[in-house]
């Protein structure tokens, strides 16, 4: 067994804290729509999906309600598309949560997906989970960064809390080695994550045949696309079991989209052009019909509605009469065109990518 270390303070700052120009969604969109795409070197996403008759992109049946309860996070990952971090103050209020609960009780969606930031850092998180669990939605996901469980004594009982409310835990882990994980997420995050996984396993999470679902999310730690999801899952399973005795159910391989801090990293490391070429080269028309915006609605901390979490970060509200949770109407909302830009290539590369892993 490896020695575990305590999580240390994060190594990077958010774009917001740095007052970086990329903290502006408009500046990000300018970059995404300019350069290689404006020069005609690469085809726009709109042109690409027009070729196969998918423009305008339209929703299918709504299956997933994804609620972002705030951008505050205990860690500051280099690749974070939310620009989350300890200094972010955007936190969903109970008033907005009440409106979300009303929607959750009446939705046709079968999955509720809570994300952040670290959703557990919202002071009303536990109350919200308790109330939402009563709605009896089939699959109730909380996206946990794992290290939060070890970050403070008040979070240590989260594994018990999750179990009590039959929450499906989905956790990011960039790699099964300490070096690659800590480089992306900050020193000590790997060991805290391993400790948290052990705690979850102890409650029955992730064990073979267990109904307490524990899935991992893999994001590449750099300017490259994820490899084959099944092969990565097998490598993660073997390594985590052998090194730490850890079990989990599935691994979702998710492509990093060129927005926010990952966009900043791509530009700073002079990888932006090559990454965009790689995304366009890997474009898979077979992934377009099932991209996650076709079955998901993303709700922001302040109640606005988006086609996906990425459009939320780019400030691209749904193109519908219904734009805010207070006016929520699933039929009107589902009759809309999905807003696209060049970042969408991230969801159609290779086997496709979504918050639930590959789609093609």
CB of 46 to another protein, least distance (A): 22
- Smaller CB separation from another protein, 127 or 224: 224
Does 203 bind another protein (CB under 8 A)? Our answer is no
The interface mask with another protein, positions 75-114, x = CB under 8 A, is ----------------------------------------
Choosing from 164, 242, 281, 335, the residue that interacts with another protein (CB under 8 A) is 281
Q: Are 10 and 320 in contact (CB under 8 A)?
A: no
Interface with another protein includes 241 (CB under 8 A)? no
Is residue 346 within the footprint of another protein (CB under 8 A)? Answer: no
Q: Which of residues 125-164 bind another protein (CB under 8 A)?
A: none
Angle at 109 between CA 106 and CA 112, to 5 degrees: 95
Exactly one of 227, 290, 302, 323 binds another protein (CB under 8 A); which one? 227
The number of beta carbons lying within 10 Å of the beta carbon of residue 88 is 21
Q: Which is nearer to another protein, 195 or 255 (CB)?
A: 255
Q: Is 183 in the site for another protein (CB under 8 A)?
A: no
Among 220, 346, 352, 357, binds another protein (CB under 8 A): 220
Non-local CB neighbours of 298 within 8 Å, separated by 6+ positions: 66, 67, 68, 305, 306, 307, 308, 309, 311, 312
For position 352 contacting another protein by CB under 8 A, the verdict is: no
Interface size with another protein, residues (CB under 8 A): 18
Which two three-digit tokens encode residue 174?
Answer: 């960039």
Tokens of 134: 């009563």
The answer for residues whose C-beta is within 8 angstroms of residue 27's C-beta and 6 or more apart is 21
Indicate the residue among 226 and 303 with the shorter CB distance to another protein: 226
29 burial via Cβ count (<10 Å: 0-12, 13-18, 19+): middle
Burial (CB count <10 Å: 0-12, 13-18, 19+), residue 302 = middle
State the CB neighbour count (10 A cutoff) for residue 222: 18
Q: Confirm or reject binding of residue 224 to another protein (CB under 8 A).
A: yes
Phi, psi (degrees; rounded to nearest 5) at 140: -115, 105
277 lines the binding site for another protein (CB under 8 A): yes
The Cα–Cα gap between 91 and 72 comes to 7
Q: How many residues belong to the chain? A: 360
Least distance CB 193 / another protein (angstroms): 16
* Interface residue with another protein, options 24, 26, 60, 177 (CB under 8 A): 177
Q: Which of 57, 73, 118, 232 binds another protein (CB under 8 A)?
A: 232
Are the beta carbons of 236 and 216 closer than 8 angstroms?
Answer: yes
319 touches another protein by CB under 8 A: no
Stretch near another protein under the rule CB under 8 A, chosen from 123-131, 147-155, 229-237, 307-315: 229-237
Positions of E strands within the chain: 64-68, 111-115, 139-144, 168-172, 214-218, 251-253, 296-299, 305-306
Q: Which of 16, 54, 79, 175 forms a contact with another protein (CB under 8 A)?
A: 175
- Min dist. Cβ of residue 177 to another protein (A): 6
Angle (deg, nearest 10), helices 25-33 and 260-268: 50
The stretch near another protein (CB under 8 A) out of 90-98, 114-122, 147-155, 216-224 is 216-224
**Interacting residues toward another protein by CB under 8 A:** 175-177, 180, 218, 220, 222, 224-228, 231-232, 235-236, 277, 281
């Amino acid at each position: 067994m490896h020695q575990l270390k305590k999580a240390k303070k994060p190594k990077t700052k958010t774009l917001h804290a740095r007052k970086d120009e990329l903290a502006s969604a408009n500046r990000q969109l300018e970059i995404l729509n300019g350069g290689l795409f404006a020069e005609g070197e690469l085809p726009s996403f709109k042109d690409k999906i027009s070729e196969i008759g998918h423009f305008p992109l339209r929703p299918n049946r709504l299956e997933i309600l994804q609620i972002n309860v705030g951008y505050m996070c205990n860690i500051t990952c280099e690749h974070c598309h939310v620009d989350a971090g300890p200094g972010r103050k955007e936190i969903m209020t109970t008033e907005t949560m009440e409106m979300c609960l009303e929607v959750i009780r009446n939705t046709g969606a079968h999955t509720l997906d809570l994300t952040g930031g670290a959703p557990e850092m919202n002071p009303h998180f536990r109350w919200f989970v308790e109330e939402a669990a009563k709605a009896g939605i089939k699959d109730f996901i909380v996206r946990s960064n794992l290290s939060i469980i070890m970050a403070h004594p008040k979070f240590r009982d989260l594994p018990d809390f999750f179990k009590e409310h039959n929450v499906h835990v989905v956790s990011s882990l960039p790699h099964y080695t300490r070096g690659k994980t800590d480089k992306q997420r900050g020193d000590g995050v790997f060991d805290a994550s391993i400790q948290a996984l052990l705690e979850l396993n102890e409650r029955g999470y992730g064990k073979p045949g267990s109904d307490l679902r524990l899935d991992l999310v893999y994001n590449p730690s750099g300017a490259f696309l994820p490899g084959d999801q099944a092969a990565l899952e097998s490598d993660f399973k073997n390594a985590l079991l052998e090194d730490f005795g850890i079990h989990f159910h599935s691994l979702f391989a998710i492509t990093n989209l060129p927005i926010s801090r990952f966009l900043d990293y791509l530009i700073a490391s002079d990888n932006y052009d090559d990454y965009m070429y790689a995304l366009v080269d890997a474009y898979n028309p077979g992934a377009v019909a099932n991209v996650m915006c076709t079955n998901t609605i993303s709700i922001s901390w302040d109640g606005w509605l988006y086609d996906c979490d990425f459009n939320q970060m780019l400030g691209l509200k749904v193109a519908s009469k219904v734009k805010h949770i207070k006016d929520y109407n699933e039929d009107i909302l589902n009759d809309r065109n999905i807003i696209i830009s060049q970042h969408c290539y991230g969801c159609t590369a290779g086997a496709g990518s979504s918050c639930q892993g590959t789609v093609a």
